[in-house]
Chains A and B, each alone.
Chain A
Amino acid sequence: MGKRPKSFGLLAEYETPGDLYHACEQVRDAGYAAWDAYTPFPVHGLEKAMGLRASLVPWIVCVMGFTGAALGFLMQYWMAAVDYPLIIAAKPLNSYPAFVPITFEPGILFGAFGAVFGMLGLNKLPQLYHSLFNSKNFARVTDDRFFIAIEARDPRYHTEDTTKFLEETGALSVEEVED
């Protein structure tokens, strides 16, 4: 406990996605809030074992996509019918059927920006330093090992008890990670 301010939390290592999955269920059910699972690839269904909410990315994409499409159309309308009205091929100034492609493309473009930058923003990336990188074992998270970290800021966190708890979930090892 004395170490608490310096400690990021406990890192438990698991060998298989199955072990991690069941351990996540136990951590979730024990009521921890500030914790996370770390995996080399998205383990199918783990968000359920962890009790996570659905992602907000679709909403960002939806808003961005429609914004892009609206801006695309308005740009064409303003340029072709308001700012520089020029009759071409006897078409009406606001010849909206011809504006469809450039309404569609900015919609997709903005939606894609929303997806990528929304994802990065929600994940608080880029974040080049993270306490977990202090752990040597953690380097295998991008290779073949599966981890759970319970953070010291969790009100239920208690170094000894949580260590014991994590060991009981089937961890290969549990270590304390410096902040």
Chain B
Amino acid sequence: MSHYIPPTHETDPDPLQGRSALIKGDPSFAEITEAVARPIEMPHKRWILFFLPALALLSLLPISLGWLFWEGIGVWGNNVPIGWGWPIINFVFWVGIGHAGTLISAVLFLFRQKWRTSINRGAEAMTIFAVICALIFPGVHVGRVWAAYWLGPVPNQMEMWVNFRSPLLWDVFAVSTYFTVSSLFWYVGLIPDLATMRDRSKTTIRRMAYGFLAMGWRGSHRHWVNYESAYLLLAAMATPLVLSVHSIVSFDFAVSNLPGWHTTIFPPYFVAGAIFSGFGMVLTLMIPLRVWFKLEHIITIKHLENMAKIILLTGSIVGYAYSLEFFIAWYSGNEYEAFLFQNRAFGPYAWGYWIMMSCNVITPQFIWFKKVRTNPKALFVLSIFVNIGMWFERFVIVVSSLHHDFLPSSWDYFSPTIWDVTLFLGSFGLFFTLFLLFLRYLPLIAIAEVKSVMPRANPHFVDPDKKPASRDHHASHGEVSAKSEPEPEPEPEPEPEPEPEASKDEPEAKEEAEPEPEPEPEASKDEPEAKEDAKDASESDDTPEAEASSEDHAEDADADEDADEDEKEEEAEKLLFSPPPSDKTDAKKDGKDNG
């Protein structure tokens, strides 16, 4: 594995992709496995230096929760007009962070953004842990935690059901569904990599633990077909789900009748904000990790730059939403709305508002400069500002809208207590503890997915040094291609066919089938009509092969294109000969008998 040509599209950009390699240095498959698995097998000594502080932070969580359960939510700074306070701010903050993982995994997957493969595993883990942190807050904000099951439609002694017309209930369903689906998505993605860890493990305990979790995955392609289908569908379902979740979170506010909350812009604005904060957190985590884990060739500057661009986009959407809120407050002529927004920017919480504005609106604009967005240190600082800014956004939305109620007599100022702070810090402790455990025991990079986007993963990838050898193996294919080369679709080679429709596809199939089974292809050429019919019908077309062997120079042609062609042609064939798919085995048997 010493000699490889550099990825062809670096020198010769593909017209569709036109991009340089996602993975730098053109490593072999084994090197990718090694790079990802080594930090797990030989953990860095520094790991414990991070883990202990995280555990210390985590210890704040049971303490603050214990005191809360003992004493009641009076220990918080929540008061009468500001009934939501920090718990709901923190809930929205964590749920927002929890959106980047699924966005990277699902939305970018559907858009065929291959760069996602280097960061999706870590981002998905971040999502799940962030959602766990988020779920704590509304769970304990109910006050009587022992009655928290009232949140769900659970049969109870009062013979009452929940109110399905309330957005707060929608939220329960949305967030718990989101948590479940994200976990499933993450686990499905992990299965092949768990198998990798199992096959590399040196100790019995590891082999049994990873083996149990990998469920006996053995890379069977018959399994991969179902796997890829399931993964694609999970992505397709997670995409509307991720949009729905933060829309529904925004309904918690927007469906109420409160100035500052009652706006139709909230769902898209919240979704953009969630993506913004989620990518901020991904950058915060990934920038140091790629250095510590020596993964700079897998999580490249290009990946950081792409994420920075998404931050710029969503940050600008958020900035636009902030200004539009102000515009509507004036344009609607609603005096409550107008008062609220003046109060928000210049009232007692102006400091929060301007922290939010500077962190969320001004900071991302630096990403316009290439120097900034290709500089990991600058991006790291910027991502911290994004995290801070997005926490303050929720603070401003919750507190500044609530603190001046409709009745001036009940106006109040909100200050958090120490227990608000410790609970929030404790949730960070939980997040970092879980994330560090993930780093310690599970592969940070989706090994199988990264391999699959490398140029050499394409079956048509040609290694110039290797070519003669592989040519020898497939001399027969060389012949085939010689025939089919002039035209991918050798139209009217007029074989006397019963169905004119079919004749179009037939010649190709025949040529391909010719050299294959028997030593004397010429002889079999005359009769294999029926056999090929069956085979052709049940099996796929043969263009990839023809292309593979005929046009070596075009081998780098991007795989997706191939696939599209294949799919189109296959579909055409299905239309022509639409036998029930179960014919396949019969076809095989027929072929066998003939042979």
Contact = CB atoms under 8 A, between A and B. Distances in A.
Given A16-B466, A44-B562, A84-B159, A111 B233 contact: yes
B271 interface: no
A38 B218 contact: yes
B473 interface: yes
B226 A57 contact: yes
Interface in B177-226: 177, 180-181, 184-185, 187-188, 192, 195-196, 198-200, 211-212, 215-226
Contact of B473 (A84, A120, A139, A170): A170
Contacts of B218: 38, 130, 132-133, 138, 141
Given A98-B164, A99-B164, A115-B234, A125 B223 contact: yes
A33 B215 contact: no
B459 A21 contact: yes
A9 interface: no
Contact of A41 (B167, B248, B448, B585): B448
B452 interface: yes
B544 A48 contact: yes
A20 B473 CA distance: 11
> Majority SS of interface residues in chain A?
helix
Contacts of A33: 585, 588-589
A2 interface: no
Contacts of A111: 233, 237
B150 to A, nearest CB: 13
B517 A53 contact: no
B540 interface: yes
Contact of B457 (A43, A83, A112, A140): A43
A46 B141 CA distance: 52
B566 A48 contact: yes
A22 interface: yes
Interface stretch (B8-16, B168-176, B401-409, B433-441): B168-176
Contacts of A127: 215-216
B173 A102 contact: yes
A41 B222 CA distance: 12
A5 interface: no
A168 to B, nearest CB: 8
Nearest to A112: B181
Contacts of A143: 29-30, 33, 196, 199-200
Given A30-B516, A42-B227, A43-B221, A126 B237 contact: no
Contact of B221 (A38, A58, A118): A38
Interface string B419-462: 00000000000000000000000000001110110001111111
B470 A55 contact: no
A40 B216 contact: no
A52 interface: yes
Given A41-B449, A123-B220, A128-B215, A112 B470 contact: no
Contacts of A25: 516, 545
A58 B229 CA distance: 7
B18 to A, nearest CB: 20
Contacts of B452: 41-44
A101 B227 contact: no
Contact of A44 (B167, B174, B198, B559): B559
A50 to B, nearest CB: 6
A39 B234 contact: no
B503 interface: no
Contact of A142 (B196, B223, B459, B517): B196
Central interface residue in A40, A88, A129, by most chain B CB within 10 Å: A40
Given A46-B459, A55-B226, A142-B195, A75 B33 contact: no
Contacts of B485: none
A29 interface: yes
Contacts of B66: none
Interface residues of B, number: 98
A128 to B, nearest CB: 5
A116 B192 contact: no
Nearest to B587: A51
Nearest to A148: B221
Nearest to B182: A112
Contacts of A119: 188, 226-227, 229-230
Given A17-B457, A102-B170, A128-B215, A108 B229 contact: no
A122 interface: yes
B592 interface: yes
B282 interface: no
Contact of A116 (B188, B200, B228, B449): B188
A129 B211 CA distance: 10
B595 interface: yes
Contact of A104 (B184, B216, B244, B592): B244
A175 interface: no
Contact of B477 (A22, A65, A75): A22
B383 interface: no
Contacts of A142: 33, 192, 195-196, 198-200, 217, 219
Contacts of B165: 80, 88-89, 91, 95, 98
B591 interface: yes
A25 B217 CA distance: 24
A19 interface: yes
B464 interface: no
Contacts of B417: none
A67 B262 CA distance: 34
A156 B466 CA distance: 32
A80 B212 contact: no
B563 interface: yes
Nearest to B591: A31
B30 A30 contact: no
Interface string B555-595: 00001001100100010000000000100110011011001
A76 interface: yes
A46 B470 CA distance: 17
A158 interface: no
Nearest to B569: A48
Contacts of B29: 40, 143-144
Nearest to A111: B237
Given A17-B459, A106-B177, A108-B241, A40 B545 contact: no
Contacts of A178: none
A42 B566 CA distance: 17
The 5 closest A-B pairs by CB, nearest first: A126-B215, A170-B473, A144-B29, A21-B459, A48-B540
20 contacts: A17-B461, A18-B470, A25-B545, A37-B221, A42-B221, A44-B562, A45-B562, A51-B539, A55-B226, A80-B165, A84-B160, A98-B164, A101-B170, A105-B170, A112-B180, A112-B184, A115-B188, A133-B218, A139-B199, A142-B192
Given A40-B29, A88-B165, A101-B174, 5 more contacts: A30-B595, A31-B588, A44-B452, A58-B229, A105-B241
